[in-house]
Homo-oligomer: A and B are copies of this chain.
Amino acid sequence: MARAGVTAERLTLAAAELADEIGMENVTVAALARQFGVKDASLYFHIRNAHDLRVRVALLALTELADRVASALAGRAGKDALVAFANAYRTYANEHPGRYAAMQIDLDPETAAASAGVRHAEMTRAILRGYRLAEPDQTDAVRMMHSTFHGFVSLEKTGGFRHTPRSTDDSWARTLDALDAVLSNWPA
């Protein structure tokens, strides 16, 4: 009997790819086992349970996204950085809908604190340095930015914009313009 060579890492990666193809809600332990030509029970040697698997995918996605954002941000500042960040975020979400969906499950505090979500938050704040916002405006602005990005991408995916003919790419570009405008002139 040859071994399948399953590891938690390979399982996580396969789950992430499966999620992008068939949707996160359809990623089951059983389906994953089938892909590896292994019985579902065998996977519990590598992962604790189905939730653990999803958390692993979420952490993978957070790391990948943080990496992309980081390289998109390199050498940029101001609106340039804002747009680069936003596009990296949206592109990742659209290219990897399953991974993005996984990112939305809420991690318990310790896990979240140890995740790449922290890097993400730091980079967001870095962008705002170009806009010279003091606390607590900075926190409010970070929250608004993140809300706008997540909200747009999320609505785009679930078809919230489908009924209007206007190009979503154009709306996205104008939304970033608007965001840059408020950040440049944050109301007192």
Contact = CB atoms under 8 A, between A and B. Distances in A.
Interface of A: 104-107, 109, 112-113, 118, 121, 136-137, 139-144, 146-152, 154-155, 158-164, 166, 168, 170-171, 174-175, 177-182, 185-187
Contact of A151 (B105, B142, B154): B154
Contacts of A187: 174, 177-178, 180-181
B106 A159 contact: yes
Contact of A143 (B118, B142, B152, B180): B152
A188 to B, nearest CB: 9
6 contacts: A106-B158, A140-B170, A140-B175, A147-B154, A150-B151, A181-B187
Given A136-B170, A140-B170, A171-B140, A155 B163 contact: no
A170 B175 CA distance: 23
The 6 closest A-B pairs by CB, nearest first: A151-B151, A147-B151, A147-B152, A140-B174, A150-B151, A106-B158
Nearest to A138: B166
A163 B121 contact: yes
A141 B152 CA distance: 12
Contacts of A182: 178-179, 181-182
Contact of A148 (B118, B137, B139, B148): B148
